Amino acid sequence: MQFEVKTFAGDTAGSVELDDAIFGLEPRADILARMVRWQLAKRRAGTHAVKNRAEIARTGKKMYKQKGTGNARHGSARVPQFRGGGRAFGPQVRSHEHDLPKKVRALALRHALSTKAKDQTLIVVDDARLDAPKTKELKDQFGKLGLGSALIIAGAEVDTNFGLAARNLPNIDVLPIQGINVYDILRRDTLVLTRAAVDALEARFK
């Protein structure tokens, strides 16, 4: 598909041909959901833990004799029903990762890109560079393109001045092409790709 290329000043800078195999798919919510679940599970630390009855520093002596008191038949004070006792079936340290085939992950990225293209929330810019790290200047440029919540994908490296200026703006994320991922694409309203990012994506999927 033919796509118009813009600049951050709001001008037109020609056009670019987007591959329909990457940007022209019919989005599938199930694949996107699987990918987002995989990403969020993978980044969980899994360091939550509680003490069970075997780990409580408390005597295991029988609280009182079995018969004759009129009370229930209790033994150790470390059991879960007593205050200060161990937790029953509580969380333990573990990994939350689960497998997702590499082909499904690649397909999910293409569906995420196609989602933005179909919703007309994809913008292709000529380049993402600034002469000086001025946040106010960059904010004015974003206003011309109507960017309030956006993920900006640069080339192999993010321009230093551009990155410094953009990091002070809320709801604006800037990543190199190596960092592009489904979750960040979907969590922002607009996806902004540079020409270099488009070329890198097409090379990646060929």
Task: Give the H/E segment covering residue 3.
Answer: strand 2-6
pLDDT digits (tens, 9 = 90+) for 78-88: 999 999 999 99
Supply the pLDDT for residue 10.
77
Asked if pLDDT for residue 9 goes beyond 80, the answer is: no
How confident is the model over 67-93, as a mean pLDDT? 94
Confidence class of residue 3 from pLDDT cuts 50, 70 and 90? confident
Quote the tokens at residue 198: 């488009």
Structure-model confidence comparison of residues 106 and 6, the more confident one: 106
DSSP string spanning 141-189? HHHHHT-SSEEEE-SSS--HHHHHHHTTSTTEEEE-GGG--HHHHHHSS
Compare 60 and 176 and report the one with higher pLDDT.
Answer: 176
pLDDT band at 56 (very low <50, low <70, confident <90, very high): very high
Tell me: the pLDDT tens digits for 120-164? 999 999 988 898 999 999 999 899 888 989 999 998 899 999 999
Give the H/E segment covering residue 190.
strand 190-194
pTM: 0.83
The Cβ of residue 69 has, within 10 Å, a number of other Cβ atoms equal to 11
Q: CA–CA separation, 117 vs 142, rounded Å?
A: 19
